[in-house]
Structure 1
Amino acid sequence: MGPGQTLQALAELLGSGQGSVVLGVAALLAIASPIVDRYVIRRKRVHYRVQYNSKIGLSPVDLHDGNGAARHADPRLLHIAELLDRMSIVVIRVRNTGSFDIEPKDFGRPLEFTFGRRVIWDARISEPSVEEHRGELTDALEFFSVDGDAGDPGETGKLTKVRTSLGQRLSAWLGNSASGEPPPAPPPQWHGVRLSRLSLERKEKFKLVVVLREPDGNRHGEITKVVERSGHLPGGRIKDDRKLRRITWPVVTATFGVLLTGALLATVLTSASRQVTDPTLQCADGTLRIVGSSAFTPAVSDIAGEYSRVCGADVTTEATGSIDGVRLLANLDQAERGTLAALSDGRAGEPGRQLVAQAVAVIVYTVVVNDSVGVDRLTLEQVRGIHSGRYRDWNQIRRGPSLPIRIVGRGQESGSRRTFERTVLDGPEGGLSSDSCERRDRGASAPVIRCERGSEADVLAEVADTEGAIGYADLPSARAARTGGLPITVVELDENYPDVSDIPNGYPFWTIEYLYTLGVPENGSLLRYFIDYLRSGTARAALQDAGYVPCVRRDGRVHHLCRG
């Protein structure tokens, strides 16, 4: 199925009676997806944000009396300024944004922050939202080198060791800088901090403050700004707040779900409004039987059922086929003429009795083929050639493998067949040569393999079950069958799609659905009131839902296609 057919099928599905169910399911999935993501799939969430990353700032060039002529006398101040000039502070906010508490066992790898080659001189936990957890958070801090852990894996990497070495660093720096003596063995070089046993309650947060200095080899230029995060939270997420998009897929899906819910409510309200009893409805007691067209009877059956429910009358339908239905009406006893009406696809040709036609709706038909055929458009000449036997294999019409053509038609009682012969074939459909639709089991010498089925539904089912099959049906039935999963393709004729809007462009396969009565119905009779009901807004809406164009428009005027 090509993209065009896929979009077409989708549009038909949403426009069908199953559209509300589709909208409801889609809205539920769209709204539920971010909830499932947050509470089921990725329930644990840690967000962090680097709030400050800059040098402490006290440059040696600033240590003068304002005119640059003299510097401060104490040389140690110069050494302190040189020390602080290469130092920086990083403030990182860490918070639990998920819906559940986080424990150390939840981490696949602990949360870590590294700062390039900058060396950590000190660190602290600041502004914890749960003050009682300050000590636990401090104890969770471990310090390491980018080349591996500094010292032994125990006390060496703890905050107490970092602060002990801080005094050694300051003394060594100030003493050696002032004396010019070579520095003693350097203390450990820590480049990263690890929160090894991090526990966070729901919505808990804190700030990690780290004091760093550039490595000795970097004595000039801008300080390093690198801050990198690592760690893994299985079944969850660790995210940088600065990189979070405002428009995320949960927001998009939730918004889409809300829009679909609105569409669903509009559909339900529209449907409910249609079910409100028409104030102009007139009811009558009695029994009325409507026979005829197998294509159109299902739509009228729904309308008759609603009228019967509201009015308490007994209005029933029977799909006998257009021709047999009109014949049955024509042979009716005059005394019973108000108890029967007949639906006919197109004008009835039954001579004799006075039959009165009421135009009900425009009915569009379509040629359909089994999906195995691989075509979605034919010319009228090709359709006529298929039924005449000029084309017996699909490879005579399209490129591809051999596939015998098998025709599924309707019987002589069918108004659909009469319309097909008059508007498409411009002649008779042909003889019956097959019962199975697979082979010529009724006439080996017949030019085509052609079988017949008694209703639109049977034709569609047979075309779907038979490879290489071609048939025809009214468009709403074909759409419903394809939406229901049958492997059939709706075919364009002479590049015109089967639709009312393409009739002015030359689409030929259509007719008017008529309701025939024996004479003019008497005023006050059930038949008279039911015909009036067929023209009401309620019945018009039901016909439109079924895929037909009512002949009587909302403003009471007759549709231009129904005036002939």
Structure 2
Amino acid sequence: MSSFPWASVLAVVGVVVPIFAFLWEFVFVGRKRLGYRVQMDTTARHEATSLNAGAWRRLEWEDGTPLVDPSFVLLRIENTGTTNIDTHDYAVLDGSKIGIKVNFPDRRVAGMVVTELSDEFLRDNFGPESGLGVRNEKNSGRTVGVVELPRVPLNRGQHYKVLAVFERAGAEHKKLSDPEVIAGIKGGVRTGGIRETRSRTGIPRWISVLLYLLLSVTLAEPFVMNLVAAKPAPLDCATGSLRITGSTAFEPVLREAAASYAKTCPGSGFTFDLHGSAQGLDTLNGQKNPAALAFSDGPKGDRLPLLLPRPIAFLLFTLVINPDAGVRDLTLAQVKDVFAGRITNWKELGGNDRPVRVVDRESDSGTRTTLEQRVLGTAEPGENSVDCQEAKPGSPPASVIRCRKGDTTSMLDAVAGVSGAVGYAELGAASGRSDVATVRIDGRPATLDAADHGAYPFWQTEYAYAYGDPKADSAAASFLRYLTNQVGADIVRSHGDRPCAELANPVLCRPT
């Protein structure tokens, strides 16, 4: 549908419509047309005997009988077409001299004259043998006055007028019937019959219709083009398939941004393999795929030198806890004691009598690494449970039960489902859950402002890694630019994170 040349079609319509309208009006429809106009039809019964009537009182028949209830009709006959009308154009028998017949029901003709010729040379068409005449006849018991007009040749725009005087011949108070004009033109408009015209001022109707059609085409064009024409993709809109791997903490942002990018850039597609930051980096390094990106919560360090980083966003993380623990705020020292196993029951910190259950991420998780580096200052002990409620058979004795989960969603599900459980997750994912509670650290909630000013420790830079420098016109480079500009940045912000460019030190993407 988008390949159809709608712009060309509408342009052609804009040209054809006025041409067709002109031809229809002046060539096809209006080529040969005979018209008439009743310019006056009035009675003068009482006026003929009124004060100052003068000569009107002497209106009479040829035998001297006065007219009792006279009426006057002024009839205009005209050529309203675009070509001339000749004597042979009238739709009558060849031997007939009469071209137009006008009937006046319930009236008798008292007299008639031809007046106001558009051109003086037309007068020769109304001589004694021309067919011009009047008569009165009976038709179904009614008196009918008849005016007969000759087959007058009329050039385009020419006309003549007929002024006739009548005497009422019907009921005295009955409204007089309109004249019946009978005539036809061979090859004329529609059936060729004579048509009544109207005296008009201003813009002719055909011009009004033409202007309306042109205006309709003009107004419709942008809407039609908007509906049927494919919108051009943005300039920075590379197509092709892109593989996304790495961080589960940043997964919601990546999936929403990818869906938005694919909608904006037809022809692009994404596949996802998100199982943790370290695993994603190792996968990218092993596959050496230039059409892939690995996202990591924090830098890769000194390993994997062929993977090149680009800081994308400033991520906030938060501690999450099962609400039945009765704890919402911990000091940094208390957090360290809980994850080190030195606190075994939440009542020791003023909470409810619930045993502490620690839910960790896998050891290669970027979120876990961030917790160990920025909050705990040390590596966590190993896990001793599968279900986070009972220790594994044969596991060494430990003060608290510890388990681990492979992704953010599994982490949150475990904390919500195990009494007294505590864990950690990306803020945007945790805030969307009503079955877990977030924990403040030293009275500070997880906010960008607190982290940016060094008051909140649990944050990390989200990096995107590519195998070598992606080509400028590749899907990888285009998607990275999309994430850090306009819509992509809005998506990052909507999940509680902040684009690196908005920080005080965007190069390092870390608070000062």
Change (3 A) 1:383 1:563: closer
- The TM-score normalised by the length of structure 1 is 0.47
In the alignment, what sits opposite 1:414?
365
Deviations 1:44-71 (A, max 9, x none): xxxxxxxxxxxxxxxxxxxxxxxxxxxx
> For the Cα contact (< 8 Å) 2:454–2:511, is it kept in 1?
no
Which position in structure 1 is the counterpart of 2:284?
Answer: 329
Q: Which residue of 2 aligns with 1:527?
A: 476
In structure 2, what is the equivalent of residue 14 of structure 1?
Answer: none
**Paired residue for 1:490?**
438
2:212 — aligned with what?
A: none
How far off is 1:420 after superposition?
Answer: 0.6
Matched, 1:369 2:321: yes
Equivalent residue for 2:391? 440
**Aligned residues of 1:305 and 1:316 also touching (Cα < 8 A):** no
CA change 1:290–1:278 in 2 (3 A) is farther
Write the deviation string for residues 304-353 of structure 1: whole angstroms up to 9, x where unpaired.
122122222122222120000011112223xx3x2111000011136143
CA distance in 2, matches of 1:351, 1:306: 33
Matched, 1:315 2:263: no
Q: In the alignment, is residue 518 of structure 1 matched against residue 473 of structure 2? A: no
Distance in 2 (alpha carbons) for counterparts of 1:557 and 1:278: 36
Structure 1 unaligned blocks of 5 or more = 1-276
TM-score under structure 2 normalisation?
0.52
Q: Deviation digits for residues 144-197 of structure 1, max 9, x if unmatched? A: xxxxxxxxxxxxxxxxxxxxxxxxxxxxxxxxxxxxxxxxxxxxxxxxxxxxxx
Measure, in 1, the Cα distance between the counterparts of 2:500 and 2:344. Answer: 40
Indicate the RMSD between aligned Cα atoms, in angstroms. 2.4
- For 2:351 and 2:236, locate their aligned partners in 1 and report how far apart those are by CA, in whole Å: 59
Task: Indicate yes or no: 2:449 matched with 1:501.
Answer: yes
Q: Partner of 1:390 in structure 2?
A: 342
CA apart distance, 1:465: 0.9
Deviation of 1:497 (Å): 1.1
Distance 2:338 2:389 in 1: 16
Q: 2:321 & 2:241 partners in 1: Cα distance?
A: 41
* Identical aligned residues as a percent: 32
2:293 is the counterpart of 1:301: no
Unaligned runs of 5+ in 2: 1-230
Please tell me whether Structure 1 or Structure 2 has the larger radius of gyration of its CA atoms: 2
Instruction: Classify the secondary structure of the residue corresponding to 2:315.
Output: strand
Q: Give the structure 2 partner of residue 428 of structure 1.
A: 379
Measured in 2, the distance between the counterparts of 1:476 and 1:344 equals: 16
Q: Return the letter of the residue paired with 1:414.
A: S
2:427 counterpart residue number: 475
Task: Trace 1:71-110 onto structure 2 (pairs within 5 A).
Answer: none
Q: Check 1:378–1:563 CA distance in 2 against 1; reply closer, same or farther (3 A cut).
A: closer
Q: CA deviation at 1:553?
A: 3.8
Supply the AA of the counterpart residue of 2:414. E
Rounded Cα–Cα distance in structure 2 between residues aligned with 1:399 and 1:537: 45
| Structure 2 contact 313–509 (Cα < 8 Å) conserved | no
1:50-94 deviation digits (Å, cap 9, x = unpaired): xxxxxxxxxxxxxxxxxxxxxxxxxxxxxxxxxxxxxxxxxxxxx
Between 525-534 and 407-416, report the one with greater CA deviation: 525-534
Q: Tell me by how many angstroms 1:535 deviates.
A: 1.7
**Deviation of residue 560 (structure 1)?**
7.3
Deviation for aligned residue 1:370: 0.7
Could you say what secondary structure the match of 2:378 adopts?
Answer: coil
2:63 is matched with: none
Q: Counterparts in 2 of 1:209-288, with a 5 A limit?
A: 281-288=235-242
Tell me the alpha carbon deviations over residues 6-34 of structure 1, each in whole angstroms, 9 at most, x when there is no partner: xxxxxxxxxxxxxxxxxxxxxxxxxxxxx
Q: CA deviation at 1:278?
A: 11
Change (3 A) 1:428 1:278: farther
Give the whole-Å Cα distance in 1 for the aligned partners of 2:511 and 2:400: 38
Please identify which structure carries the higher helix content: 1
Rounded Cα–Cα distance in structure 2 between residues aligned with 1:300 and 1:510: 18
Partners of 2:466 and 2:327 in 1: how far apart?
42
Moved more, 371-380 or 526-535: 526-535
Asked if the contact 1:540/1:550 (under 8 Å) is kept, the reply is: yes
Residue 279 to residue 545, structure 1, CA distance change in 2 (3 Å): farther
Partners of 1:444 and 1:474 in 2: CA distance: 31
Q: Tell me how far 1:563 sits from its aligned partner.
A: 8.0
1:498 is paired with a residue whose SS is: coil
Distance, in Å, in 2 between the alignment partners of 1:454 and 1:399 is 28
